[in-house]
Structure formats: C-alpha cells, structure tokens
Amino acid sequence: MNLTPSISSLTVVPLVGALAVLALGSNRKLARGIALAFAFLALIFTLLLWHRFNPASGTLQLEEIHAWIPVLGVQYHVGADGLSLLMLLLSTLVVPMSMAASWNIQEKPSLYFALILLLEAGLIGTFTALNFFHWFLFWELSLIPAFFLIRLWGGSQRATAATQFFLYTMVGSVTLLLSFLALFLYTGIFDFITLGELARSGHLLQSLATAPHGTAATADRFALLICLGALLGFAVKVPIVPFHTWLPATYAEAPTGTTMLLTGTMSKMGLYGLIRILLPIFYLQMRSMRTPLLWLAVATIVLSAYAALVQKDLKRIFAYSSINHLGYCLLGIFSILKFTGDDPAMLSEKAAALSGVFLQMFNHGLTAATLFWFVALLEKRSGGLRGLNDFGGLRKVATVFAGLMGMALFSSLGLPGLNGFIGEFLIFKGVFPLAGWAASLSTLGLLLTAIFLLGLIQRVFAGPLNPSFAHMPDLTTAERLSLFPPLALMVALGIYPQLVLGVINSTVLHLVQQLR
Amino acid sequence: MLFTIFAALTIAGAVAAISLRNLVHSVLSLILAFAGLAAVYLLLGAQFIGFAQILVYVGAVAILIVFTILLTRNDGTFGTSSQASWNLGALIVIAVFGTLAWTIHSSAALQHALPPQPEATMQQIGTALMVRFALPLEVIGLLLTAALIGAATIALHEKQERP
Amino acid sequence: MTALAYNSLHHASPQAADQIFLIVQHWIVSHAPAGLQSLLAILLSVVAIVGGFGLLFAITTILERKGLGRIQNRYGPNRVGFFGSLQPIADAIKSLTKEDIVPQTADKLVHLLAPILLVLAAFSVYAVLPVGRNMVLVNLDAGVLFFFAIGSVTEVAVFMAGWSSRNKYSLLGAMRAIAQMISYEVPLILSSLTVIMATGSLSTVTIVEKQAGFSRILPHWFLFTPWGFAGFVLFMIAATAESNRSPFDLPEGESEIIAGYYIEYSGFKFALFFLGEYLGMFAISGLAITLFLGGWNAPLPFLTWVPSYLWFFAKLLTLIVAFIWVRGTLPRLRMDQLMNFAWKFMLPMALLNLITAAVWHFMPSGPVRWLVSIVLVVVPYTLLGRNQMHKSHLEKRVYRFAE
Amino acid sequence: MTWIVRNLWLIPALPALAAGLTALAKRHQRRYSAALAIGAMGLSFLLSLCAFSQVMLAITHGQPSRQVVNFPWFEFGNQWLKLGWMLDPLTAIMLVMVTFVGLLIFIYSTGYMAHDDNFTRFFCFLSLFAAAMLGVIIANSLLLLFMCWELVGLTSYLLIGFWYHKPSAAAAAKKAFITTRIGDLAFLVGMLWLFSQAGTLLFYDQGAGCLEHSALTAMVAHLTGIGMAASTGIALLIFAGAVGKSGQVPLHVWLPDAMEGPTPVSALIHAATMVAAGVFLVARVYPLMAAHSDAASALSATTALQVVTWIGAITAVFAALIAVAQNDIKRILAYSTVSQLGYMMMGLGVGGVAVGMFHLITHAFFKSLLFMGAGSVIHGCHEEQDIRRMGGLSKLMPVTFATYAVGMLALCGFPLFFSGFWSKDAILHAAMGWSISRIPFYLGSLGALLTAFYMTRQVYYVFFGTSRLASHHEATPAAHTAPPTPHESPSSMTFPLVLLASCAILLGAVGTPAWPWFDSFLSGEAPIFAFAGFLEHGILPVMLTSTLIVFLGLALGWWFYGRQPILSADLPDALEQLQPGIFRVLQNKFYVDELYEHTVIRWNSALATFSDWLDRWVWNGVVMTVSNLVLGLSWLARSTDTYLVNTSFDEGCNTVTTSGKLLARLQSGRTQSYLRLVGIAFAALVLVLIWSARS
Amino acid sequence: MTPLSSCLMLSALLFSVGFAGVLMRRNAILILIGIELMLNAANLNFIAFWRYGSAPEALTGVMFVIFSIGVAAAEAAVGLALIISIYRHRKTTQIDRINSMRG
C-alpha cells in the first residue's frame, strides 16, 4: 500500500472540499476555514507527488488508466511529467493565495470558496488528463466556476466581462472540440499520447487521407485546418494577440482573488495545451506556420506592452503585463518548431527555450498572482480605488507594502536575482539562435515592461503623499506572513532555479527529442 | 357433489357481491364467495392454499374493504351505471364469458386421463418456497413492504388537512 | 378429505385410562352401520368437544365471577346452589328465556348471523387442538394455519355484529375490536412461528409430540428455552388482546362504549356472543398450551401415568385463572397506547425472537447458546421497554379515536 | 588555489549580508545599521587587500596572474549553465578601489545623512549597491556580470529615488533605470549572441571560455549577413550596455538628472563606481573588442574599438561643453564625469586596458573627492546647490576648500603633482599615436581645455568672492528668521576628504611613463623603473602640450570669473554676456532631452496609444462586428420565424389539434370505458387466435 | 364434464361475474371487489391445472397462487388506500366522476 496520494485523489480533494464547503459553510469563517484547509491539503498532496516523482525520467509518470467508454476509445487516463507537476504545484500554490486575497469576501462566501475549489479541481484535471475526453471535461469545468466567480462577485461591468469571457473561451473550446472530433472520426483515438505517436510515425496523415474525397494533398490541408481549430482554442485561452481582448476586461472586472486564479493558473492552461497537445500531434502543421506564429508572438509581446503603457487601471496594467509575459512563452514555444535535424547544439537551444517557457509559466503564475494580491490589498485600503492616478507617495505611510510590492514588480520586470529573470533569459537564450529577429524585436517588450512598471511605482508610491491616504495602514503582520511564502519563493527561484529546472529538465529533453 | 355445492356457493356469493346495493352486504357476500372458493381449493387438495385463501381474503382483504367502506361515505347514488352502458357492459361480459366457455369446451387439453391426487404437504411447499422460489419470495416480501408503506403514505394525510 | 384420527390402541391398563374416550367412541361407532361409521365418529367427537368446552364455559363463568369478586373484596354470586355454584345454570335459563330484541333499523339477517358465525368459528378451531393423546378431531397437516385462518373469521363476525346493529357504539366497538385483532394477530402469528420453525411442522399433533420427553426432570417444552419463554409471553399478551380481555378490553369497555359491538344483543344471541368469546379464549389458550406448554404432556417424568387430557385441562384451567387474575389486576389501556404497544414493542420483539430462535437452532447446545439467546432476548426487551416508558412519559395525550 | 581565491565571493557577500540585515532593522536602529554596513565594507576592503597582495605576489613570482573558480548553477537540456568568479589584476585593482572609496563614502554618509529619516534604509541600499558592484567586478561569467549589472541598476534606481517624495527624484530614478535598460537590452542581445556563438558565457574556463583564443577565433571567422564579423557585432552590442551605464552619448541624459540623489550616492555611483562599470565592462571584454581576424591587421584598431574611441571622444567634448554653462554644483560635476568617462572610453579605444583603467582609478578618487566636497559645501550651505548663490566659502570651510582644490587640480590635470595629469596624459599620448585618425587627440585636448575652464569657473563661483547666500535668502524670508551662515562639515565628512585628497595626489605616481607600474600590473608583468620612459617617442611633446592646454584653461577661467569677484547671484554669467546664444544652447544641454522628448518618447507614447486603440477598436471591433452580425442574423431569423414559418406552422398545428381532439374522445378518463375496450379486445383476440389456430 | 373443465368453467364464470362487476358498477370499491373476484378466478385456474396437470410435484401452480395471493393483498391495500385518498380529495367514490385524466 503506497501512502503517497495518486493524481486521482489529488483531483478529488478540491471536489470534496467544494462539497464540504457548500454543505457546512453556513457561516463565513467556517466556509473559508474549510476551503483553506482543503486547498492546503491539495498543496500537500502535490508536494507529496513532487516527492514521489522521479526527475531523472522525462516520460509520464504516476499514470492511472481505467477503461471508461471503450466503444469511443475513452479512457480515464491521467499522468504527470515535469510540466504537469509544475503546473499542479502552481495551481495548488495560487489557490490558497487567492483564498487569502478573498479572505474577507462578504457575499455568499461559501459559494465563492466552493467555486474556487471547483476551479482548482478543473485545473488539476486539465493538467493531468491524457485523454481528450475527460481533459476537455475538466477544461470546460474550470470555465464554469470562473464564469460565475466573475458574474457574481465582479465589478460594475461584470456582466459584460463575464459574458465576453465566456463566449470568447467557448468559441475557442468549440473549435477545439470540433478539431478533436474530426481527429477522432478518422483515427478513433482520443488519447493524446497515442495520437502523438501516430503523428510521429506519419500514420496520422494517412488516416486523414481516408476522409471522403481525401488524398494525400487534401490530408495536409485538412490537418492544417484541424490544427488551426485547436490552435484557436488555445490562442484564446493564453491569449495570443489578436484574440486577447476579453482578457483586460475580464481581469479588471473579476474579483481580485479570481483574477489571481485567472492569471496565475488559467492562462497556463492554454500554454499547457499548446505544449502537451498541439506540439506533439501537429508539429508538422505548426512548423509550416512557424513564421506567422512567431510574428503573432512578437505582436503579443510588443503590442500588449504598449497597450499597458496607457492604461490607467492597475488591474488592466497587470492584465496587459500578463499578456506580455505569456507572449515570451509563446515565443519560446513557437521558436522550437524550427527544423534543425539532429544538430545537438540546436537541440540544446531548444531545450533552453522550452526550459525557459516552463520556468516562465511558473514564474508568471506566481508573480502575477502576487501582484494582483497586492492590488487586492490596495483596494481593501483604498475602498476599491485602483486607478493609476488615485494614489501617490504611499511609500511614506506604507513602507513595507511599497517594498514588498516593489519586489514583486521587479520580479515581474525580470530583475536578476528574482524569479522572472531566469525564465526570460532562458527563453531568449534559446530563441536567439532559432529566431534571432524575433528575439531581438521582443527585447523591446522588456524595455516597455520596465517603463510601465516603473511608471506605476512612480505614480503610486513615489512623489508627494496623497492626503487622502495619509492614514493608510501598512501591511498587518498576518498579511506579511501570508505574503512571505510567494515572495520567498521568488527569491529562492531567482537565486537557485535548479529547484524547478532539475525536475523539468528530463521532461524538456524528452519533449524536444520528440519534436525532432 | 361437494364441488357443485361449493361452486354454487361461490358463484352465488360472487353474483351477490357485485349486484347487491348495500356495499357491506356486497362484502359479506364476497366473503361467502371467498370461503366457497377456499372450500373448492380444499377439495382440489390444495390445503395450504385453501387456508391461505381464508386467512388473506377473509381475514385481511375483506376487512380492509370493510374499513374502506366505512371510511368513505357513500353519496347515495348506489349505483349501477346508466342504462346504456349497463347494457353495453352486460353484452361485453356475455361475449367474454361466451368466448371463454366455448374455448374451454372445445379445448383439447381436457382430454387427459385423471391423474392421482398429488401430494402438496407443508414440507414440500416450505422446501419449494425456501429453495426454488426463494428469490420470488424475497421479492414478494419486498413488494408487500413497499405496498404497506405506500398504502400508509397515500392514506395518511390527516395532519396536512388539519389547519 | 379430512382424515380421521382413528387409532385403536388397546394397550396396558395405564393407557386404558388415558385412552378411555377413544375406546368408548370406538365401541359406540362399532355398533353403527358401516357406511355411517366415519360420520358417526366425527359426530361423536364434535359432541364431545361441544359438551366438554360448553361445560368448561359454565365453570369458567362462575370461576371468573367468584374470582373477580374475591379480588375486588366481595363475594361474587353465592345464592344459587352451593356457594353459588349453580349460577351458570341460572344464567343459561335466564338468557334462553329472555326476549330477543332486535333494533328497528338493524340489518336483521346479519344481526342474526353474527353470533352464529362467531360461535361456529370458535368451535371450528377445536378441530385441530389435541386435548389428549390421540384426542384430536383432525390431524391437519396445516393445523396451526387452519387455527389462525378460522380465527380470523371471528373478526368478520365481530364486524357483522357491530355494523348490523346500527348503533354508533356498536360500530365503534367493532372497529376497535377489528383494529386490535388485526394488530395483535401479527405478533401472535410471529411468536408462534418460532415453534413452527423449531418443529418444522404446522401440525399441532407433531408439535406436541416434539415436546415429549424430559432432560432429567425438566420437560422438553418450548417454554423452557429463551425464545420459547419470550414467545410464550408475547403469545399470551397477544392472545389477551385477541380475545378482547382486560387490559385490552377496549372494544367492550363499559365506561367508554358501554358494551361495544354487542350492545344491541340480548337473550340467546347475547349468550352466544358470551360463549363465543370464552370459547375463543379457551381455544387460544389451548393453542398456547400446544405450542409452548407441551400440550397434554406431563410436566414431570414421574407423573406420566396421569391421563393426558387431564394435563391439558389442568394447564388450560391454569391459564384461565391467569386470565382472570390479570383482568382483576390490570387497568385498561388507552387506544393509542394499545396500538403503540402492538407495533412498537410486540412486533419488534416478535421479529427479534424469530432471530433468537434461529440462533438457538444453529448454535451447538451448551451454556453459550443459552447465554447468547438470553442476551438476544433481554437486551431488546430492555431497550424497547425503556423506549416505551420514555415515550409514555413525554407524549402528549391525543384522542384520535374518541373525538 | 589560495584561500582568498576560493573565498572571493565573500567580498560581495559581506555587504549583501549587511544589506539584508539592515533591511530588517528598525528605523531607529541607526547606529547599528551604519556600523553593520561600514563593518562589512571594511572587511571587504581587507579581503580586497588580501586579494590584491595575492595578485602582486603571483606577479612577482611569475605565476599566472589570473585564477578562476567556476561552479554549475542550473541545467537545461544536456548542459549545465556555469557561473564563476575570478581574480586577475583588473579585478584586484578594481576591488581595492571600490571597497576603499566605498568605505570612505560610507563613513562620509554617516555625517551627511545624519538627519535623514530613512538613515537605515540608506545604508541598506548602499550596501546592496556595493555588493552588486563588487559582484560585477569579480564575475567570471558574462551572465553573472549582467545580473550584478542589473542589480547595480536597481540599487542606483533606489538610491537616486531615495528622496522619493520629490517628484523630480522619482522621475530621475525612473529615467536612469530606463535609459540604462535600453543599453542593457542591447547588452542582453549581445550576450545571447555571444552565448549562441561561443556556447558559454564564462570568460575564462581553461581554454573553453568565451574570451579565450579558440572562441575568439571562431567568432571572428563567423561572418554575419552584412559582412561584419560576429565578434564585432557582439562587442558593439555589449558596448551599448557600457554606453548606457557610463553615460556616453547618446544615452548620457540620465546621469545629470541622477544628481537628485543624496550626494554620497552621487559620489559613489556617479563618480567612483557605477559609471565606471561601463568602462570596466569594456576593459573586461577587451579581448573580444580587440579580436582580429588575422595577424596582418593586428596593428590597426578593430571596428569595435574605433566605435569606442569615437563615442568616447565625442562624449568627452560634448559633456565638457555643457558643463561650462551649468550652475548646479553637482550638475557640473556630473557633466564633468560624463566627459571624463568619455576620456576613459577613448583611452580604452586608443590605448588599451591599462590606459583607460588608469584614468578610471585616478578619476574615481578625485571625482569622489570632488563630489564629497560638493556635498560638504551643500551641507554647509544648507542644501543650496546653485553655485551662483554661494561664494566666499574658502574661509568658512577651509578643509573642504583645500581638498576640493586638490580634486579640482587633479581633474584639470595639473602637471606633475596630480594623478589626473598622468592618467590623462597617457590617454592623450595614446590618441596621438592612434593609427586611424588624429581627431580624437584634438577632441581630447579640447576637452582638457574645457575641463580646466569650467572647473576654474566653479571654484571661483563657490569659494571666492563674497557669500551670496544671504541675498538669496532675503528673497524668501519666511523660510528662516536669520540668514544661515555656512559652516564647516563634521569630521566624519572631512576625514574622507583628506584621505581622498592625498590619494588623488599620490596615485599618479604609479602610472608615470618612467614607472608604468599600473600598466605592467594589469598585464601581469613585473614593473620596470626607468626614466627612459619619458624619452620615448612623443611622450614629452604630449606632456608639454597638455600642460599648456591646462594652463590655458585655468587662465581663461581666471580671465572670465576670477578677475573681478562675482557680486550678485542674479547677474548673468560672464560667458553669457559674451555669447548668449551659444550659452543658452549649452545651458540647455544641446536640447538633447527635448529632442528625445519630441522624438523617441513621443513616438513611443503614440505607439502605446495606437496599440490601445487597436485593442479597443480593431481587435475588439472585429469581435463586436461579428457579434453584431450574429445578432442581426438572429433578428432576421426571428422575423422569418414569426412571419413565415410560424404562420404555416400554426396552420399545421391546428390540423393536428383538431385530429387530436377527435382521438381524445377515446380518452374519456373513465376507467370503465377503457375496460370495456379491453374486454372487447380480449374476446376478439381469443377468437382470432382460435380461428387462426384452426385454419 | 371432466373435473378440470368444471373447474375451468367455474373459473370462467367467476371471472365473468367479476368482470361484470367492474364494467357495470360505478362504485370504486365494487370495482375493486370485481377485480378481486377476477384474480380469484385466475387463482382457481392455476390450482385446477396444478391438480389435473402433468407435473403436479413441481408445485408450480401452488407457488404461483401463493405469490398471486401476496400480490393481491398488496394490490388491495394500495388500491383501497388510493380510494380513500381520492375520496378525501373529491368526496366521492363514483368512478365515472373521477375523470380528470380525460384527454
């Protein structure tokens, strides 16, 4: 009897938690206490999984396979490699943070926390599922609580934002679903791993050629179409410019605790899908679109950074900053599509880029969530104000607040010594030899990030003190203590990234070798 | 001989049961019919069935019907249906009976020789119930429980009706 | 076809006394034409039963009146005959000569049929009661079933009486009686089922035979097993209720509904009801003796020379005295208490007793079996009893049927 | 490998630790945090001395002067990324300079910042800065260097914006960070390029490092699309980083603004260390800069070095010109710094590491001396920075005046006795002998002239004549009831001044042509003492020329500002009277800020607005159009439904309903009628069955 | 007439009488009585065929009747409970007034 928990049990924990919160959470304190307890339980489970994981192997581990609907090729198939595990850790880490940020929520707290736990379950499921069927189930499952969290607890424009969010992601989901149904129609397989193997052996195109009126030529085009459909689904989720317009509105209108989840974890779902699903199955199609995709990635980085420059709402700034940071991940992912044959040097560059992408995903999740948390704390003190020009000179009254938030901000802009730098450096290191022009153009994003983040510090924390905040309280001890773990993790990862890289490296190599 | 007497008793009771105007008389006639039928069973060698018939039909079903009669007030129109439907009903009944009678009369299955009196001791019945028919017995037990609860639920609405 | 329990036993003299009635019957029958012999034998047995139990009825009436009188610190009947011992005869003459009053609106036919049906049913059950060795009218394979089946007919009779009188007290009394009888029929049958399980037979004769013999001086009666004892107690309580006797005499409680379903009866019909009631009591006591008290078997090994029918009647009289004693001692129950007691105490106890009997059957004999069975009886008894007591203190009085 | 090499990391680690501890200190724990910072810095200084002596010993024993320690950091793919530190003469000399100057500035700060609320935080930042700077120096990996480089940027941001409540300080801090970041990004790209070319970022790694022969050869041989060698491209990109950090044209704009920070910060960052980091970087990657494709062209300078030279020369003159027309005491020094950094760059370009680095070291001492002197002045004049409102301080602040004068003369390059003379002379000499062009030499000479001129101007304004402080304060009498009198600074401030002043004089001795100790130290050779050095080709004429130029500058300064004492602060500048147009241009720093304002920044914000507009109207517009289209379609569909489909559908429904009603008659709800049907059906069924069985 | 056919005829007659009661009376209780009679007729058939059938030792007919009686008891209980319930709501037991299921 193995005492370490399985992935399934990890998935079940938040679900049970959600039910428990709904069932018992008649009062606020009890509800949030139970919810936090379950969130921590999930975190502990993840850490135990992390402990059990063998980092020397890049293949999927901790697999569980059970027949489900054998007629449709649907299995319950879960497993984790370094990427999944990293994302699990991120999810289970951000959820308690998000709960802490929503600690004093007033309206229907039990429902709120239950939804968050439900969302966590969806996330965990998405990051571990290996069969399209239940992967998609979890993918959508995470969408529903997110919608309600925005719709019920959001800001003044929440209805529009929630609907926009829902419709946008739904459209993406629909095309994704259609793509995979088409694949299933011609291959009869829903399993990602098997599909990937088919694609590598070239049987996938052969199967597609069996479509009505299909030939080898149409199979190519058909495959491209399917790939585009799936790509749209992920593009909306990440998001890639120009499918990103739902994001600033949504982030701005969602309750800040939810925004933390949206940016910290849900945006990773798209990237995860790109890496886990799209790359192994459609790498030929993706390769043919490499240059336009790289342009999109560069546009995502640069345009979002520019857009962030003129925003007046802190949450919108961070929302665009989020897009910008995810753009680097896209850059890394798309650049490794380049065909390099068996050149070991290039393989190493690809590994660097992909390592950077993983690290950046984790770092961005952590940092962005922390930043939104600071916004939440600021909103709590200002009574909901979060305009760029509403503050001024806060550093005088809230020194610790300013210092810690400054730390998170500098982490976000990629200061060496904090976590943001290594990921970006590795991405650029890998991308530069693979797509030098894209890397060079993208450095503009780094500069712009610095400009708007420093501008933010200047407007909010520096300058003469805004008299209406003359008595703003600094961080309380409880807040300092709860902020300590993410900030400590930022420093730890900045100084010793091997913590994460050691676990994902084999996975990275495995993935890169698959893409050859 | 005995058979004829008991058959006549049964039919008489049955006819009285459906034709008497007074419901209680109907039930009493029905009891008569049941008793007659039980006697027929005994004549046919089905001792257990005969006593069970009395126990269940006379002791339980008839009493239940009586209770129902007393719990529901008759609104005076004792009644048969309208003349037309009465006639129609009679016609159909006669048709059904005619069909049955003719079928029985012309059936080839009746040409067997008389078999000897079969044994149906309590031991045999008990063994059969516990061995071959164990599952149906369980099911019937379950059905009776469900019926008991169901009947109680349906009939018990007093508390809701009280203000 | 009924089978005649026809045993021509001509053994040694001790058995001659035991079989005296059979010998006499056989002697009489032997004089009749061959075609009528079996019919005559039945007729003789019926006459014997009617005569014997009719006499017992007479004795019991005087016994009850005297006994109750003693319990209530009075003399009871003491004018007719020696210490009033001829009072039953006087009563009989009085009943037979009284006017038969039938209410105007009564359903006369049913009114007439009710007591007859009751007495007929009461007498019918004696057909399967073995009053002594070889002394049973018919040894039915399904004897106990027959007993209960015919016993349930008395309910119809009661209803007929209550309904045909066109009297609200009658009807209420009848409804009460029927409800009570149906309710207590369940524990009655369930508690007797233990015996049927133990013997594997529904035949009363077989049941009695299974209780013959002794372990040292203890007879093999089912009374002397934990489940048998519990079953006997349950059976007797249910029997009390079945025969509408105190403390379960609600259907005829004078202070509540005068005389229940036989208010409108007088004279001979009333006497028939009275007879039917007592015969029912005797019959069910006889069944209790058959099932639990070893029937006509002697209680002690050295007393087997006493004729078996004497033992039966001795036991019957003991039970009758017990009935009278209980009537004189206990107050009457309320209707809801009665029903609660039936469904919440009797029924679970009877069901648990079935399990106890099964456990007894399947465990190897020894003290452990005793211990387990006793625990299985005592613990539920304690729990259910406490539950009842607890409830009765807290429950608010609700007059559901007396409104 | 000796102890000091193995534990070289302690040198930056100690101040970093001190920074961490002071960060946790309470605001009132002033003495504790100052002691911590100074103690850590002192220890670092001692360790640096150890390191220095280690290198000295190695050189004298003829052992290799460069020792490295490399260690793996993290893995990606099949390889580990390694970092490391090294100890070579360049590192050693820089370590000593930084720790020594830093230590003095720390001590000075205890006096200067004594009344500041955020005293502890100031020392925290200072320590952090020192740690980062020391990290830059010992790094044996371009990545580690870059990381520390960025941290230096961060700390300079924090220190410049130390008085964050002043909007100008906050803006200056941001400007500094962003301007340097522009250069840093080029640096980053260069680093990435280098990484992809050399496969490592370690400078020296037993032959495998990126600054070692094999890697250099490969990079030189690798030609890019535009015919430039990869090494050149990489070198230029890295140099862009140095341009940003060292305030070279065109990224010099942040440096003068950075004077918003407290004066010790200015001294530390903008004089001694941080700005020198750029020069140090170029010196560090000098092998890359000077990498030739083949031995034949070894004599001529590489493209990268040419760019360095030109940028340096232009900056030297450009900044010196601006300095002429400035009135803020620190701004003048700032532009002077920019100008001197240009010199250093030029020195590196034309003469190699030793030339540039020598000026860097000497400059570090006298410029920090000047800044601290200026700080002393400002402190004494109660935070007054405008030189026009000073005057006559030579009597009131004698120690400050004396030391300031030493610094000023060193900066001007006063012959023979001052270190500045020797270092500047070396640069000019090298420029003279530059094979490409003589123009840098002329520019350098012009710069020297201007330097002497504006320093004379400043000294006359500040220390001579009568005090104009009172007149200024009359204008705002509400501020103080009595006009404050300037006073001498506390000893914690003057002590470092004196120490630095002596260094500024003595240090020149190590780099004279006769005893080029510095040169040989850097190249790892034992120095040779020979007066013959003076007699080498071109040395004496250059020395004479520069001496003349310096005297000319001083004289001009005296002519304009010293001849008659300046009486009033409101009087126009002497030079302004002469050439108002030119003066205004100079005063406005050649309108570079305005130029940037109207070009880069405006374009940038336009792009931002455009991007936002794109988001709001184009991308979102597409979505809205689609959704409106869908809405329209659904409206159309609904109309058709209502008027076309529904009407016919209703008709159909009516038909169905009518027939349904007919059928419903059978469904009477009366059980008996159903049963009748059952009876009939039963009879019929039996009959049919029998009939069919018969037939 | 053989004994079997007479039993069957009795059964048919009983069935028809019950059916007549169902068809020709309006009172729900009487209809129920009719149904009981029909059930009993069926039981009689089982017994008759058991008695005169080919394999009486299998006891199938008897078993069927036992279960049939059980089901009949349940049916009677539920049916009567329904009648009481309907009576409570509609104050009638006349079956032709209870026609809310009319189509």
Q: What angle do CA A365, A368, A372 make, to 5 degrees?
A: 130
Say if the Cβ atoms of C200 and B24 lie within 8 Å. no
Backbone angles phi, psi at A473, to 5 degrees: -75, 150
Residues 6 or more apart in contact with residue A115 via CB below 8 angstroms: A18, A145, A148, A149
Q: What is the pLDDT of residue B80?
A: 55
Helices within A188-312 (DSSP H only): 192-201, 203-209, 216-237, 246-253, 256-261, 267-273, 279-288, 290-309
- Cβ of D26 under 8 Å from any chain E Cβ? no
- Number of continuous H segments (helices) and E segments (strands) in chain B: 8, 0
Please name the chains neighbouring B, where neighbouring means 3+ C-beta pairs under 8 angstroms. C, D, E
* E101 contact residues in D (CB cutoff 8 A): 667, 669
> Which of D668, D675, D676 faces E102 most closely, judged by CB atoms?
D668
Asked whether the beta carbons of D129 and D38 are under 8 A apart, the reply is no
Helix (H) or strand (E) holding A65: strand A61-69
Give me D414's structure tokens.
């006063």
Query: Is the confidence at residue B86, as pLDDT, over 60?
Result: yes
Cβ–Cβ below 8 Å for D177 and A433 = no
Q: Express each pLDDT in D128-174 by its tens digit.
A: 999 999 999 999 999 999 999 999 888 888 888 888 888 888 888 88
- Amino acid identity of residue C154, one-letter, is T
How many beta carbons lie within 10 A of that of residue A180, not counting itself? 24
Beta-bridged to residue D74, according to DSSP, are D81
> Are A153 and A107 contacting, i.e. CB atoms less than 8 angstroms apart?
yes
* Residue C305 in tokens: 């020379």
Q: Which residue of E has its CA nearest to D666?
A: E103
A118 to A21, A89, A95: CA distances (angstroms): 11, 16, 11
* Torsion over CA: A402, A404, A407, A409 (sign): negative
Q: What is the pLDDT of residue A124?
A: 92
Which run of H or of E encompasses A490? Answer: helix A477-495
**Token pair recorded at residue D451:** 């330097």
Closest listed residue to residue C143, CA positions, set C122, C156, C126:
C126
Please determine, for the modelled complex, whether the ipTM score is greater than 0.85: no
Collect all residues of chain B within an 8 Å Cβ-Cβ radius of residue D673: 85
Chain position carrying tokens 């909901």? A384
- Find chain E residues with C-beta within 8 A of B114's C-beta: 2-3, 52
Taking CB atoms and an 8 Å limit, are C142 and B55 in contact across chains?
no
User: Which of C178, C143, C185 is closest to C157 using CA atoms?
Assistant: C178
- The answer to whether the Cβ–Cβ distance between E84 and B112 falls below 8 Å is no
Residues of chain E with pLDDT under 70: 1, 96, 98-103
User: What kind and span of H or E run contains A64?
Assistant: strand A61-69
> Measured between alpha carbons, how far is A462 from D171 in angstroms, rounded to an integer?
9
D542: nearest Cα among D518, D519, D522, D513: D513
Measured between beta carbons, which residues in chain C are less than 8 angstroms from residue B59?
A: 149, 152-153, 155-156, 185
Q: Supply E14's token pair.
A: 């009983």
Distance (Å, whole) CA C144 – CA C150: 10
Q: With contacts defined as CB-CB under 8 Å, which chain E residues touch D675? A: 22-23
Nearest residue on chain E to B153, judged by CA atoms?
E81
Cα C158 to its chain centre, rounded Å, is 16
pLDDT, tens digit, for every residue of B24-76?
Answer: 888 889 999 999 999 998 888 888 889 988 888 888 888 888 888 888 876 55
Confidence of residue B96 (pLDDT cuts 50, 70, 90): confident
Of D77, D164, D611, the CB nearest to A352: D77
Quick: pLDDT tens for C173-211. Answer: 888 888 888 888 889 999 999 998 888 888 888 888 888
The answer for residues whose C-beta is within 8 angstroms of residue C175's C-beta and 6 or more apart is: B67, B70, C162
Q: CB-CB: which of C107, C141, C152 is closest to B55?
A: C152
D671/E100 touch (CB, cutoff 8 Å), yes or no: no
Element (H, E) at D74: strand D67-76
Q: How confident is the model at residue B131 (pLDDT cuts 50, 70, 90)?
A: confident
- Placement of tokens 């200061």 in the chain: A415
CB contact under 8 A, D679 and B92: yes
The pLDDT of residue C5: 40
Burial class (CB in 10 A: 0-12, 13-18, 19+), D324: buried
C138, C159, C206, best to mutate vs chain B, most B CBs in 10 Å:
C159
Q: CA–CA separation, D578 vs A319, rounded Å?
A: 56
Contacts of A352 (CB under 8 A, 6+ apart): A426, A427, A429, A430, D76, D77
> D667 and chain E: CB distance < 8 Å anywhere?
yes
Measured between beta carbons, the chain D residues lying within 8 angstroms of E37 are none
N- to C-terminal Cα separation, chain C: 50
Dihedral of alpha carbons C284, C288, C290, C294, sign: negative
Measure the N-to-C terminal CA separation of chain B; round to a whole number of Å: 61
What's the distance, CA D205 to chain centroid? 28
Condensed to tens digits (0 to 9), the pLDDT of residues A406-418 reads 999 999 988 888 8
What is each CA distance from D481 to A471, B136, D466, D473, in whole angstroms? 32, 114, 21, 10
Given 3-state DSSP classes, what are the helix, strand and coil percentages for chain B, each rounded to the nearest 5? Answer: 80, 0, 20
- Residue for token pair 């974890």: A265
Chain B contacts in chain C segment 155-184 (CB below 8 A): 155-156, 159-160, 163, 171, 175, 178, 182
- B25 contacts on C by Cβ (under 8 Å): 107, 110
Q: Does the distance separating the beta carbons of E56 and B120 come in below 8 Å? A: yes
Q: Which of C142, C152, C200 sits opposite B59 (nearest CB)?
A: C152
In chain D, residues 258-317 whose CB comes closer than 8 Å to chain B: none
Flag whether residue E29 sits within 8 Å of chain D, measured between CB atoms: no
Average pLDDT per run of 10 along chain D, which is 695 residues long? Answer: 83 91 84 90 92 86 82 85 88 90 88 83 90 91 90 89 86 89 90 86 84 81 74 88 87 85 80 82 87 59 84 90 86 89 88 84 87 85 78 81 87 80 84 82 88 87 76 47 65 84 80 72 71 68 84 85 72 75 79 81 84 81 81 86 80 85 73 81 85 77
- List the beta bridge partners of residue B80: E25
pLDDT given at position C13: 53
Residue of D157, D189, D604 lying closest to A443 (CB–CB)? D189
Query: pLDDT per residue over C339-396, tens digit each?
Result: 888 888 888 889 888 888 888 887 777 788 888 888 888 877 877 777 666 555 555 6
Chain C residues 129-148 within an 8 A CB cutoff of chain B: 140-142, 145-146, 148
Using a cut of 0.80, tell me whether the model's pTM lies above it. no
Task: At D136, list the tokens.
Answer: 């830059």
> Rounded distance, CA D340 to CA D271, Å?
10
| Amino acid letter, D261 | G
Return the domain boundaries, chain E.
Answer: 3-97
Report d(CA C350, CA C190) in Å as an integer.
6
Count of CB atoms within 10 A of residue C386's CB? 10
The alpha carbon of residue C153 is apart from the nearest alpha carbon of chain B, in Å, by: 6
Instruction: Tell me if B95 and D679 make a contact (CB, 8 A cut-off).
Output: yes
Q: Residue A131: beta bridge partners?
A: A191
Query: Is D676 close to B92, i.e. CB distance below 8 A?
Result: yes
Listing DSSP states for D385-414 in one string gives -BGGG---HHHHSHHHHHHHHHHHHHHHT-
Answer whether E55 touches D (CB < 8 Å).
Answer: no
State the Cα torsion D529-D531-D532-D538 to the nearest 10°. Answer: 120
Q: What CATH architecture is E3-97?
A: Orthogonal Bundle (1.10)
Which residues of chain A register pLDDT less than 50? Answer: 1-3
How many C-beta atoms surround the C-beta of residue B11 within 10 A? 18
Most A-contacting residue of D71, D234, D260, D615 (CB-CB within 10 A), to test interface: D615
Tokens 């802190």 label which residue?
A314
The helices-and-strands tally (H runs, E runs) of chain A is 22, 2
Centre a 10 Å sphere on the Cβ of residue A27 and count the other Cβ atoms it contains. Answer: 11
Which of B21, B51, B65, B156 best probes binding to C when mutated, by most C CB atoms within 10 angstroms? B51
Average pLDDT for residues C296-304, to the nearest whole number? 82
Task: Say whether residue C207 is in contact with chain B using an 8 A CB cutoff.
Answer: no
* Mean pLDDT computed over every residue of chain B: 81
Q: Which two tokens stand for residue C39?
A: 């019919």
Q: Are D286 and D347 in contact (CB under 8 A)?
A: no
Cite the beta strand spans of C105-163 per DSSP E. Answer: none
- H or E segment to which residue D372 belongs: helix D353-380
Cβ partners under 8 Å of residue B105, min gap 6: E5
If contacts are CB pairs under 8 Å, which of residues 177-216 in chain D contact chain A?
Answer: 177-178, 181-182, 185, 188-189, 192-193, 195-196, 199
CA distance D372 to D106: 11
Do chains D and C have 3 or more beta-carbon pairs under 8 angstroms? Answer: no
D681 touches chain E (CB under 8 A): no
E19, E22, E99: residue with CB nearest D670? E99
Query: How far apart are alpha carbons D400 and D405 in whole angstroms?
Result: 8
In the DSSP assignment, the letter for residue E94 is B
